Amino acid sequence: MSTTCQRCTTRTDLYLCRDCTARLRRWLADTHNLMNCLETVVARQNRFAETVGPRSATRPLFYNPQAADARRQLAATLVSAAHELATRRGAVPVLPGVPRLHLQPVPRDHQPDAEPNPDPGAVLPLSRAGIAGVAAAAWLHHHTDWLRGDPSAGDVFNRIERAVIDAEHACVPPAPRWYAGPCDHCHHDLLAEADTHGHPRFDTITCEHCGTRHDVEGRHEYLIRQARLQHITATTALSWTHMLLGKRIPRGTWDSWVARRRITPRDIDRDGHPLYRFGDVERLARDHIAKPRRKAS
C-alpha cells in the first residue's frame, strides 16, 4: 500500500512516515523526564521566579495550576490514545504497576495530588496522573508499528504533539521582564526583556499594545522621578539607595540624620512606622557619598 503521511504528506507505506514516527517515539521515550519536570513545577519546587519586579502581596498557591493542567492533559492524552489503539486492535494495554482504573482519562476537575516536598533536593514521586501517563507512553512506544498502521495515526500524533508542547512550555522558566512604567501613548504597562540580573537587554522598548517605541534610558529616568515621590519606610529607603547609587548607607548614619532632624517623616503607615520621601533620602545620600573622608593618620 502506498499513501501519504497524515502528518507531513510525505509518501510512505503506512499512515505515518518513518521520520514522524521517530519524532513520536522520542516524545514517548522522554515522557518520564517530562513528567518529573511537571511534578517539580506543580509543587513549586523549581527555582525560577515568574516575574522581575515588586513582589505581590497575594500569597501564591501551594501548587502551580498551569503546570497541573499540562500534566493532567498530557496524561489523559497518552492514556486515551493507548486505550483507543488497544481497543481497535482487540488488545488490553499492559501498564505495569498501574491499576486498570488509570486507563480512563483523568477528569478535568481532578485536583492535584502532588503535595509540596519539604526537601527541595529530594526527587518528587510521580502523581497518579503521572504514573498513568508514563505507563501509557511506554505501551505506545512499544506498539508504534500498530499506530503507524492505524487510520487515526495523524490525529493521535497531533494530540500528543500539542500535549507535549504545552507540557514543555510549563517546564521552561519564563523570560525575566523589566517593568518600565506606562506607555506614553496608550498608558499600558511596558515590559522589556531582561537579563538574569533583571536589567533590560536592549536599548529600546516597543509597547505590545500600540507599537510605540521608547528609549530605555528615558524610561529609567522616568521610574527614578516617580520613585523620588514615594513615601517609604527607612528600611526600604536604604535598600533603594543602595540599588540606585551602589553605596550602602550605614544604619548609624541614618539614625544620626533622624536624630538631628536632617530628614523628617512625611507620613506614617498603617502599622505606625514613619514614612520618608525617597527624594529627600536620595539627596542626603548623594551628599554623604560625595563628602571627602578623612584619612586615618
Domains of the chain by residue range: 3-171, 177-224, 229-290
CA distance 178 to 191: 5
Burial (CB count <10 Å: 0-12, 13-18, 19+), residue 287: exposed
Q: Is the pLDDT of residue 173 over 70?
A: no
Secondary structure in 3-state letters for 221-282 = HHHHHHHHCCEECHHHHHHHHHHHHCCCCCHHHHHHHHHCCCCCCCEECCCCCEEEEHHHHH
Q: Which of 39-43, 193-197, 232-236 has the highest mean pLDDT?
A: 232-236
State mean pLDDT over 32-53.
Answer: 66
Tell me, what's the pLDDT at 87?
86
Largest CA distance in the chain: 96
Q: Is the pLDDT of residue 57 over 80?
A: no
Which has the minimum average pLDDT: 46-55, 99-108, 135-144, 184-193?
Answer: 99-108
Contact 50, 39 (CB under 8 A): no
Which has the higher per-residue pLDDT, 218 or 9?
A: 218
Contact 44, 62 (CB under 8 A): yes
Which has the minimum average pLDDT: 116-130, 138-152, 213-227, 238-252?
Answer: 116-130
CA distance 186 to 210: 7
Distance of CA 143 to the CA centre of its chain: 35
pTM: 0.51
Which has the higher per-residue pLDDT, 115 or 246?
A: 246
CA distance 43 to 18: 37
Is residue 163 helix, strand or coil?
helix
Q: Is the pLDDT of residue 113 over 50?
A: no
- Dihedral sign computed on CA atoms, order 102, 137, 38, 71: negative
Contact 15, 153 (CB under 8 A): yes
CA distance 184 to 227: 17
Q: Which of 45-59, 159-173, 174-188 has the highest mean pLDDT?
A: 159-173
